[in-house]
A and B are shown apart, each in its own frame.
Chain A
């Protein structure tokens, strides 16, 4: 399955300035595993070194948070669009 990950502007320098990257994967977790090889700087901003999604990162499949689906096991259909969202809970003043 080919899935497209859509990046917020702040992460685009990690993939050469692209707004989106495509990867072949059957699940969300597999897509991130592929990212670790293709774009390691991007992948480690989404997951820590033990593979846990960072606390203030949200991944939306279409308009649904994968936390409300099957998490990393969420299956991707061909042409799926996975949005990377910095949660409003993050940040520092």
Chain B
């Protein structure tokens, strides 16, 4: 196993875990204490990766911190790094997603926030400007909050074409741009909004997409975990196909694509929105290796029966290495890793505050 840093956002701060060679995981002390860290990010386009933590203090409000020394210290600019401009009558609630852009734009970083909006940085993620093309979209006033809030929670930049990008928001659905963010169109054809009347369940927008994922080498291939329903697209969101056959339930939050195997994806199903615990009360990841034609449960090394916790939408990630490390964190404050594509799992940490977000990177 190579050297890995694992950035863990929790309800009470951020923790960095480090792994060297075959030794045990080392956990740094909790930082940004008593802040809810819903979004973490790692920008690996730099010689020393830049870490990000979107942290919200219940008293003192939201901010976006960055670290250029692998989490030993954190900084923020004097002026608010992410703020709605005058005239919008809108205030930042929290940062949900931090996403570096493609290598073609090395200083560009995006954040997705609550209330529904996208911000863009051209200085490496220190200061941000509102992406007005999406904020002024005529659908925006019809987007509604999901259970977690009115969040833009997923940003999927195209790996080679900076003009193309997808975002997902709850509850508005998937939107995409092909002109660098100036204009946006919904991309939800085939995704069901199960709560609507039967003859209206496939609207143009308004779906509650919980997480969207793409494969880095096959950007037209997408996966989505919805508020009921797991979907796959092979045409960059022109159309979606339901791939939930074989799953014990279709509700859940995270979905992750294997960085090398384009047909391999991982989810953590929950029984239902009215029963947000794993089916059979077992801690199990479900994996497909054929883009959703078949699913298999994975539980070797995970806790035994009687498990009642959950994994949130940004609680699962890969380090992108080859072989890839897969990671997930739970609302019980546990973090697990697999170094064999999910066949077996090992505990990285436990007794943390509940895990809200997690990102990993292989480092030199």
Query: Which of A2-38 touch B at CB < 8 Å?
Result: 10-11
User: What's the A-B contact tally at a CB cutoff of 8 Å?
Assistant: 50
B284 within 8 A of A: no
Given A56-B59, A91-B58, A92-B11, does the pair A49, B78 have CB atoms closer than 8 Å?
no
B319 within 8 A of A: no
A44 touches B89 (CB 8 A): no
Interface of B, secondary structure class, is loop
B274 within 8 A of A: no
A40 touches B78 (CB 8 A): yes
Flag B21-53 by CB within 8 Å of A: 1 or 0 each: 000000000000010100000000000000000
Most buried by A among B34, B57, B63, B76: B57
Chain A residues contacting B72 (CB-CB under 8 Å) are none
Most buried by A among B11, B58, B59, B76: B59
A54 touches B59 (CB 8 A): yes
- Which range contains the number of A residues in contact with the other chain? 10 to 19
Chain B residues contacting A57 (CB-CB under 8 Å) are 59-60
Bound CA–CA A91/B84 (angstroms): 24
B323 within 8 A of A: no
Residue of A nearest to B76 (CB): A41
Given A50-B91, A52-B91, does the pair A44, B59 have CB atoms closer than 8 Å?
no
Q: State the Cβ distance, A82 to closest chain B Cβ, in Å.
A: 17
Known A-B contacts: A56-B59, A57-B60, A91-B34. Give 7 more (CB < 8 A): A44-B63, A46-B60, A49-B91, A50-B89, A54-B59, A56-B58, A92-B36
Give B residues with C-beta under 8 Å from A. 11-12, 34, 36, 57-61, 63, 76, 78-80, 83-84, 89-92
